[in-house]
Amino acid sequence: MKTLKAMMIGLALVAVCGFANASPKTSTDVNTTKQEVLDTYMNALVHGNLEGISNAIADNARFYVVQGVRVRTTDKKDVLAYLKSNAHIDQNCAFTGTVLSQDDNTLVEKVEMKFKEITRTDVVTAQRTDDGWKITKVETSFK
C-alpha cells in the first residue's frame, strides 16, 4: 500500500511539474520574424505551397493590382481563393526579393517574378502586429 501511495504521489508531482513547466503557444510562434512571413508569401505565390499563408496575411490586409491605368483593390479572402486555385503549381519563373526599407516594426520588400515574356512586381509590406508579423499590404504591377 505504501508503494502504491508513493507511486501515486510521484505521478502527481510529475504531472504538476509538467503542467507548470508547459508554456502556451502564442500566435507569434508561427511567423516569428518578418522574413518568415515574406518567405511564406513567396512560397505560396511561386511554389503553390499554402502552408501558413492564411496566418501570414493580416485579416485587414489590402492588395492593389495595377491593370493599365486602373488599380484594382482586393482583400485577404480573394487572395487566398486565388492562391488556393493555384495550389501545388510551381510557377515557371525566376524570382528575387530586394528590401526597400525596414525598421523594428515594418519591412517593405520588392519581389520580382520574371516569366518568359512578363515580369510581375509585388511591393510587399509586412508589419509587426499584436499577433506577430503579418503582411498588411501588397501592390502588384506587370511589365
Q: Which residues contact 68 (CB under 8 A, 6 or more apart)?
A: none
pLDDT at 9: 47
User: Residue 68, Cβ neighbours under 10 Å: how many?
Assistant: 6
pLDDT in tens, 30-81: 457 888 999 999 999 899 899 999 999 999 999 999 988 899 999 999 999 9
pLDDT at 118: 92
Q: Which residues contact 40 (CB under 8 A, 6 or more apart)?
A: 31, 51, 52, 53, 55, 56
Spatial separation of the C-alpha atoms in residues 74 and 87, rounded to whole Å: 19
Helix (DSSP H) and strand (DSSP E) numbers for the chain: 4, 6
Q: pTM for the whole thing?
A: 0.73
